[in-house]
Amino acid sequence: MSGCSCPRAPQDGVALAILVWFLAAMSILVAGIVMQARVDIKLAQLHATRARVEAAADGAIQLALADLMLLEVDGEFSGRVVHHGSHSLGGLDVSVSLTPLTGLIDLNQATEELLFRVFSVINDVDETVARELSTNVVKWRSPDPFPGELGSQINEEPRGLAGMTGARHGRFEAIEDLLLVQGVDRRIFEAIRDSVYVDQAGQPGVDWVSAPASVLQALGDMDEEAAMDLAESRLTEKVEGLVAPQGIDLGFQETADLSSYRVDALVVFDGSVFRRRRWVDRARSGADGLPWRFFRTEAVRVLPQIEGSGLVVKEDAHAGN
C-alpha cells in the first residue's frame, strides 16, 4: 500500500522565484556598493590632487613674492609691470604671475564709462546692455539715498532687494558681490572676473602697462587676439620705453602707488590646468610673520583646456620687465 503523494510543482516554482529575486536583489546591492566605492575612490583622488596642487601653488607663490623682495634689494623692481616666475615643488612645475592692481578695474572707484568698456567686450552683450550694466554697478555702490527708516530696511535686506529695486549698498566687499547687481548673471560675472578687483585702496582709472589682455581689449578698439599680441609684445621693452599704441584710450590712464597684487599660480597636472589665485598686500605683514599679507584666497579651480592653454602660453607673459 503506497502513500498519497501530493504535487510539489507549484511550491518549487515559488521557491525558485524567491531565489531568483533574492539573487537579483543581492546583485543590485553589490553593484551599488561597488559603484559607491568607485565614487569614493575618485573623490579621494580628487581631494588628494587638489591638496597637492594647492600646496605646490602656495609654495610657489611665496617664492615668487620672495623674488620680488630680491629685485627691490637689487634696485630692479618696478611696481608697474606683471612679474613672472617658475618654480618646481613636490614634482610639479608651477608658473606664477603677479599682476599689480593698477592694471585691473576697481569695482568701487572705476568710472561708469570704464565699466561700460569692460562690459562691452563680453560676447553677445550689446552697447545698450553694457550701458545698463555699468549704470547698475554705479548705483549699487552708491551711498544710501534714502536715509531714515526706509534706508535702514534696504541696508538690512541687501540680497533680497538688490535684484528687484537696484538698492544701494555703499561699496563692493568682494568681486562676487557683482552677482547681486541687477542684470549680472553667472555668465557675465565669469566673463569679467579676471578684469576687476576689490580692495581698500584703489583708483578710478587703470594702467595699460600692467593690464591683462582682457582689460587691454576694453581700453582699445581691438579683438581678443590683438589684445593678447599687445600684452605679449610688452615683454620686449623696459617700462620707460613702452609707448601706448594708437588704439589704447589713455583717457583712463592712471598709475597710483598701490602695494597690492593679484597672484595666479598655474599648475598642469594629469592633463588638467589648475589655478590658485591669491591677493596680497606687500606693504603689510601677515600673522605668519612674513613681510606680506594675503587678504583674499580663492579655491583651486580647474580651467577649461582652451582657457588654460592661453593663460599658460600668453596670459602669463603680458608685461615688460
Spans of all domains in the chain = 12-104+206-321, 106-203
* Nearest Cα residue to 219 out of 189, 191, 247, 195: 247
Measured distance CA(176)–CA(272) in Å, rounded: 25
In order of 20, 52, 55, 316, the CA distances from 110 in angstroms are: 71, 38, 35, 25
The pLDDT of residue 18 is 82
Enter the C-alpha cell of residue 181.
547687481
**How many Å separate Cα 129 from the centre of its chain?**
23
What CATH homologous superfamily does 106-203 map to? EpsJ-like (1.10.40.60)
Measured distance CA(95)–CA(92) in Å, rounded: 10
166: exposed, middle or buried (C-beta count within 10 Å: 0-12, 13-18, 19+)? middle
The pLDDT of residue 310 is 42
Instruction: Judge contact between 174 and 198, C-beta under 8 A.
Output: yes
In order of 124, 172, 205, 254, 269, the CA distances from 200 in angstroms are: 32, 10, 15, 17, 35
Angle, helices 127-141/112-120, rounded to nearest 10 degrees: 140
Q: Residue with C-alpha cell 618696478? A: 78
The pLDDT of residue 307 is 47
The pLDDT of residue 319 is 40
In the predicted model, residues of the chain with pLDDT beneath 70 are 1-12, 144-168, 236-237, 240, 305-321
Compute the radius of gyration of the chain from its Cα atoms.
Answer: 28
The pLDDT of residue 101 is 94
The pLDDT of residue 157 is 43
- Count of other CB atoms within 10 angstroms of residue 226: 16
The pLDDT of residue 162 is 40
